[in-house]
Each structure stands twice: as C-alpha cells, then as structure tokens.
C-alpha cells in the first residue's frame, strides 16, 4: 500500500501515520506539509497512490479547493478528509467535491479509520482487478515468459510487484517490474538494476531469495523470484518475539547479509518488511540494491516530502555519507532490538529527528532478562562504524559464542 498524508499539523500527521503503520506495517507512507513545501501542484504524481488522507484547513488552501483539484485529475485515488473544526455542512461539501469519507479530527479512532480505509481500498479495486497499467505489464510479461498473472502485490514510485503462476504447473513466482526511469546521473537505470540482481541470482544461499529470471520486456526491466508464503517479519512483529526466536532470526539475517556482502552487494534497506519467511519458517532476505537505494535517497531530500521511514538507517546512511557492510549490521541491530522489545530503538515526531537520534541519543538498553545480549546489541548499534562488528562473519561468530548460543537454545 502507498498512502499520502497532507496536513500542516506535524503531530496529526504522526498520529495518522501511526494508525496506518499498525495496520499496514509494509506500507509506504508519504508526508506532505503545504505550509513548508508549498501548494500541491498538478505535476505531483497521484496515480501510484492507493489513498490520500487530507487535512483541513491547510495554510495554503483555505477551503476544499485542493480536494476538488485532486479529484478532477485522472487516476486520483480515494481521499479521506480530516477537519479540525468540522460540521455537517463541511462534511457535505467534502463529499460533494469527491471525498470518499470524512472525519472530524477529534473523533478519529483506530478501528473507525481502518474500517474506512479498507472500505475505500476495496471499492477502488472491485473484484480484485488489476489497474490498467498492471494488466498491460502483466500480459506483456505473460506472453514472453509463459506465466499467468494472479494479482498485483504492490505498486510504488519505481517498481511494481506481481504474483504469477507458471503455465502448466502450480509453481508460483513473484515478478518485480522496474519502471522506465533514467537515474540522476543520466545513465540507464535498467543496466545497473539488472547487473546487481544478476549478482544476486548467482547466490545459492538458504537465507537469500532465489532469483529465477531477469531481463527486459516491453521497456520494463523485471526479475522473477521465488514466492515466499510465510509472510514478512513486519507482520510477525505485531507481537514481541521470544528471545530464542529473535536471536535465531537475527543470525539467519546475518548469514544472508554475509552472502551478499561476499559478492560486493550492500542491502542498504534492511527492515522487517524486507525479511520474509518460506513455508518451512526459514528466513529469506529480499529487496536489495539500486531501486531501494534511490528511494532511500528520496527519504532524506526535499522539503516537506518524505518517503519511507528512517527507523533502521545507520547514522552514516541517515546523513548521506558513504556506507559499507557495517551499515547493514547497524540496521540488523535495530531489527534485533525491535524483535526483543516490540519497540523501535529510536522514535521521534519527524524522520529527521529520528536520524538525529541514531547519532546523538543514548544507545537503547534491554531489560534485565536480556543482559547477556546487551553487549552484542551495543556493538551492533555503535555510532562509530569502527566500533561495530567489522564484518558479518564476526557477527555470526558472536551469535555462535557460548552465551548467545545458550540464549538461542
């Protein structure tokens, strides 16, 4: 899912983001603050969004003109309006101008909001049908690669993901399709995208997703990978994991990172949503490389526009400095802390404030029951990369050390 929150009130954007992240932990959520970024222009892309959450009033929009302008554009997704001082007359006007639903800000509850969002998402895609662009991409690849497309799993700014079944068999595959987009340096992104995934495709490791095919079809680069039926770690983190379970998952992730680091690839976007499980409950790491790196760059640039979340970024990555494998180790430390506690190690009211905390806040402390794990976590989350584990091999050795191995047992 991809959501856009438009509101001048940073605290209220944070509240809405919280509700969405609890229900859709893998969603991409974009914030827009008109008072700092300026009015939303006609050039702002709406077609890739699944839902817009629009605050009222806005500093640069005194009435519902923004709602009316957005809903007049082809491909605009459903819009929910949240009014600070609303009444029934404003609600009627909002619905007349195209709002899918309306809430006074003071009366939003998690259950009511989630119900409204689900209803609008369902109504926007009747019978589970794919969008026109999804159908055209799916049919093009289907004709070339002998796969029948089942569903669109995700559509983002840079890529879309589809579930497919091989014709004549019951084997399912996931196709990731990269949209045609040159990078900022002017070179062709497809070449870099395919080169990096070609390296991944040659990795035969139980904790790295299997890549079956990759190439270019109808001006789209694509990769075909295994279907991971066990879901993501993000979904499992709706509950606190047991100590042995958390350490086992962290060790498997470390092994996967070691495999990609050995061939010169950094993950750069390690987070629970990119840790998947097979049907036998083994970990499989997904989503490496260039497309994700471009999104991460977008996450810390621009005024008033932020994609994704910086909860798992190393201090050097958050400040756009050079990164190496020690940055991935830091990200894994953030995930380990969350698996053990159910909380992210650093939280704040804005993404840039989270980035600041990664560098300047005291390191998180585990409860007494996890005393034996604290030194390992401290070393993974060291601010200075030179004070962290210097390689995933060193980290795996630490997981295999007697005290940690006993905690995993």
> How far is Cα 190 from Cα 181, in angstroms, rounded to an integer?
8
Cβ neighbors of 189 (< 8 A, separation 6 or more) are 178, 181, 182, 183, 221, 290, 294
> How far is Cα 406 from Cα 236, in angstroms, rounded to an integer?
23
Contact 333, 324 (CB under 8 A): no
Contact 249, 305 (CB under 8 A): no
Look at the chain and count its residues. Answer: 409
Residues with a catalytic annotation lie at 269
Contact 294, 306 (CB under 8 A): no
> How far is Cα 375 from Cα 263, in angstroms, rounded to an integer?
29
* Residue 79 backbone phi and psi in degrees, to 5: -125, 130
Cβ neighbors of 334 (< 8 A, separation 6 or more) are 311, 312, 344, 345, 346, 381
Beta bridge partner(s), residue 80: 53, 101
């Amino acid at each position: 899912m991809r959501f856009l929150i438009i509101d001048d009130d940073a605290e209220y954007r944070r509240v809405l983001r919280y509700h969405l992240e609890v229900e859709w932990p893998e969603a991409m959520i974009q914030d827009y603050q008109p008072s700092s970024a300026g009015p939303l222009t006609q050039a702002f892309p709406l077609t890739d969004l699944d839902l817009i959450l629009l605050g009222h009033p806005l500093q640069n929009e005194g009435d519902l003109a923004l709602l009316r302008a957005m809903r007049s554009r082809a491909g605009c997704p459903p819009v929910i309006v949240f009014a600070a001082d609303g009444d029934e007359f404003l609600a009627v006007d909002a619905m007349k101008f195209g709002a899918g639903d309306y809430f006074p800000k003071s009366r939003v509850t998690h259950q009511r909001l989630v119900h409204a969002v689900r209803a609008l998402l369902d109504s926007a895609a009747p019978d589970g049908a794919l969008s026109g662009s999804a159908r055209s991409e799916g049919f093009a690849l289907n004709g070339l690669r002998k796969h029948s497309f089942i569903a669109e799993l995700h559509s983002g700014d840079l890529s879309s993901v589809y579930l497919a079944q091989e014709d004549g068999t019951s084997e399912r595959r996931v196709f990731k399709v990269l949209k045609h987009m040159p990078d900022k340096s002017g070179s062709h992104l497809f070449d870099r995208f395919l080169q990096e995934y070609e390296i991944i495709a040659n990795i035969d490791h139980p904790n790295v997703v299997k890549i079956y095919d990759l190439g270019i079809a109808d001006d789209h680069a694509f990769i075909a990978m295994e279907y991971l039926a066990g879901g993501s770690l993000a979904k499992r983190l709706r509950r606190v994991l047991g100590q042995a379970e958390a350490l086992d998952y962290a060790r498997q992730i470390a092994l996967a990172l070691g495999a990609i680091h050995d061939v010169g690839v950094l993950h750069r976007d390690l987070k629970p949503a990119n840790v998947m499980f097979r049907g036998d409950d083994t970990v499989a790491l997904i989503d490496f490389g260039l497309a994700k790196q471009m999104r991460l760059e977008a996450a810390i640039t621009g005024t008033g526009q932020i994609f994704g979340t910086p909860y798992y970024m190393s201090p050097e990555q958050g400040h756009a400095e050079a990164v190496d494998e020690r940055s991935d180790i830091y990200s894994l430390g953030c995930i380990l802390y969350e698996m053990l506690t159910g909380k992210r190690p650093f939280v704040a009211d804005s993404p840039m404030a989270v980035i600041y905390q990664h560098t300047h806040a005291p390191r998180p402390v585990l409860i007494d029951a996890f005393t034996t794990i604290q030194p390992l976590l401290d070393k993974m989350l060291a601010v200075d990369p030179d004070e962290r584990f210097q390689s995933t091999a060193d980290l795996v050795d630490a997981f295999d050390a007697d005290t940690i191995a006993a905690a995993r047992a």
